[in-house]
Amino acid sequence: GAVVSQHPSWVICKSGTSVKIECRSLDFQATTMFWYRQFPKQSLMLMATSNEGSKATYEQGVEKDKFLINHASLTLSTLTVTSAHPEDSSFYICSAGGTSTSYNEQFFGPGTRLTVL
Amino acid sequence: DQQVKQNSPSLSVQEGRISILNCDYTNSMFDYFLWYKKYPAEGPTFLISISSIKDKNEDGRFTVFLNKSAKHLSLHIVPSQPGDSAVYFCAASITGNQFYFGTGTSLTVIP
């Protein structure tokens, strides 16, 4: 089955620093990847849609200058949290839909837990 | 390798009938399981969860069953309503640190 990996799985950083999270589709090409943030009551919030070779589409209320998304290849999308603050501490999850998968099929990464001190 | 699997990409059910969505997992260390519902163009929303110490959890029309020996969980929706039409993802976690998601099952409830 298709596998999506995320790196790192857990990161702790100081306030004001930037953190990059990678999302990789290991055995398929993903033209579209999605970035989610998980809130305390366990709902996932879609942050942005990342399209290979073009700018990401951000959901309303998500600061594009703070959450930089790059989808430079068909197997890699990165989310950079710039000037992180404690309120950015959360669980970030990516998912990918490949060109060969059905429209509704999404392969999720295991998530990255970010803790900002 | 996919640790959480939803082998049925789609399911169609008549309104008023029961919808049963299935999920299988391979890692016996998973201790928490969740179901998410996703509408098109929206992020998944949490639906119901179950701890590994239980075998059933019920919330209104939604019931999740866990069979640890078979490494299988299922979501029952009864009665099914047209508004339930969405994609449903199951997810599994080890102590809440990482979540492994299935690939989703698209449910269509036919009026």
pLDDT of A101 reads: 45
B9 pLDDT more than 80: yes
pLDDT of B20 reads: 98
pLDDT of A27 reads: 82
pLDDT of B55 reads: 96
B35 touches chain A (CB under 8 A): no
| Other beta carbons less than 10 A from residue A106's beta carbon | 26
Residues of chain B in contact with residue A90, where contact means CB-CB under 8 angstroms, are none
Interchain pair B106, A106: CB under 8 A: no
**DSSP conformation class of A59:** P
Interchain pair B44, A10: CB under 8 A: no
SS (H, E, C) B57-82: EEECCEEEEEECCCCEEEEEECCCCH
A102 touches chain B (CB under 8 A): yes
pLDDT of A31 reads: 79
pLDDT of B96 reads: 61
Mark A2-16 as b/e (b = at least 16 C-beta within 10 Å).
bbbebeeeebebeee
Residues of chain B in contact with residue A104, where contact means CB-CB under 8 angstroms, are 9-10, 87, 104, 106
| pLDDT tens for each residue of A16-48 | 999 999 999 888 888 788 898 876 655 677 888
**Of A59, A104, A110, Cβ closest to residue B98:** A110
Interchain pair A110, B87: CB under 8 A: no
B94 pLDDT more than 60: yes
pLDDT of A103 reads: 43
Q: Which residue has the tokens 């996932």?
A: A44
B32 pLDDT more than 80: yes
User: How many residues does this entry show for chain B?
Assistant: 111
| pLDDT tens for each residue of B65-84 | 999 999 999 999 999 999 99
A113 touches chain B (CB under 8 A): yes
| pLDDT tens for each residue of B48-66 | 989 999 999 999 999 999 9
B49 touches chain A (CB under 8 A): yes
pLDDT of B43 reads: 62
With a pLDDT cut of 70, the percent of chain B lying above it is: 91
Residues of chain A with pLDDT under 50: 99-104
Chain A: nearest CA to B52, how far in angstroms?
17
